Amino acid sequence: MLADDITIDTAVPQTFADLFSPEPSHWGLRGDPYLWRELASVLADATLPNSGNAVRETIERTIVELTGVDLSVTEPVFIERYPADGQSGQHVSMPH
């Protein structure tokens, strides 16, 4: 049985915009929210593919296009167009 204060969102996402909202409450590096917002903007009107693998492939391909870096990179990636705030400014964490 669920507690009274727990809500379950039963809405099925229809677009990538649905997946990118709301934003995470915590970020790894200072550039991460900028990459998140850029991904959300680029993919906003795209209809979700029918399979989870296709969704993942679309997001991964878009990350590569936006960062210019292969996803096998494990170090933080410098993105010049992002603000240089703080020690990790202009850097994003690559998904693993």
pLDDT tens-place string over residues 57-96: 999 999 999 999 998 988 898 888 888 877 667 888 877 6
Q: Calculate the alpha carbon distances from 84 to 28, 45, 46, 53, 58 in Å.
A: 15, 29, 30, 34, 28
Residue boundaries of the structural domains of the chain: 16-92
pLDDT mean over 12-33: 86
> Residue 78 corresponds to which tokens in the numbers above?
């410098």
CA separation for the pair 13, 50 (Å, rounded): 11
pLDDT at 2: 47
CA separation for the pair 85, 29 (Å, rounded): 10
CA separation for the pair 46, 61 (Å, rounded): 14
| The pLDDT of residue 13 is above 90 | no
At 28-40, the pLDDT tens digits run: 888 899 999 999 9
Tokens 């991964």 belong to which residue?
60
The answer to whether the beta carbons of residues 54 and 24 sit under 8 Å apart is no
Report for 5-9, 14-18, 65-69, 82-86: range of highest mean pLDDT: 65-69
> Angle at Cα 62 formed by Cα 60 and Cα 64, nearest 5°?
70
pLDDT at 1: 41
